[in-house]
Amino acid sequence: MKTIRTGVLAGIAATLLVGALAAPTANAQIYPQPNGYCVISLSDPLPPVDAQVTLTVTAADPAGNPIQGETGDITIVEQPGDSAYIAPSSFSTGADGTADATLYTGTEPGLIQITSPCGPALVVANVNVGQPPGPPSTGTGLDRSSGSALSLIATLALAGTAATGGGFALLRRRAQR
The full DSSP string for the chain is -HHHHHHHHHHHHHHHHHHHHH--------SSPP--EEEEEES-SSPPSS-EEEEEEEEE-TTS-B-TT-EEE-EEEE-SSS--EEES-EEE--TTSEEEEEEE--SS-EEEEEEEEETTEEEEEEEEESS-------S-S--GGG--HHHHHHHHHHHHHHHHHHHHHHHHHHHH-
Q: Over 50: is that where the pLDDT of 23 sits?
A: no
What's the whole-number mean pLDDT along residues 75-97? 93
Report the mean per-residue pLDDT for the chain: 74
> Is it the case that residue 43 has pLDDT exceeding 60?
yes
Going along the chain from its start, the domains and CATH numbers come out as 37-129 (2.60.40.10)
* pTM, full prediction: 0.56
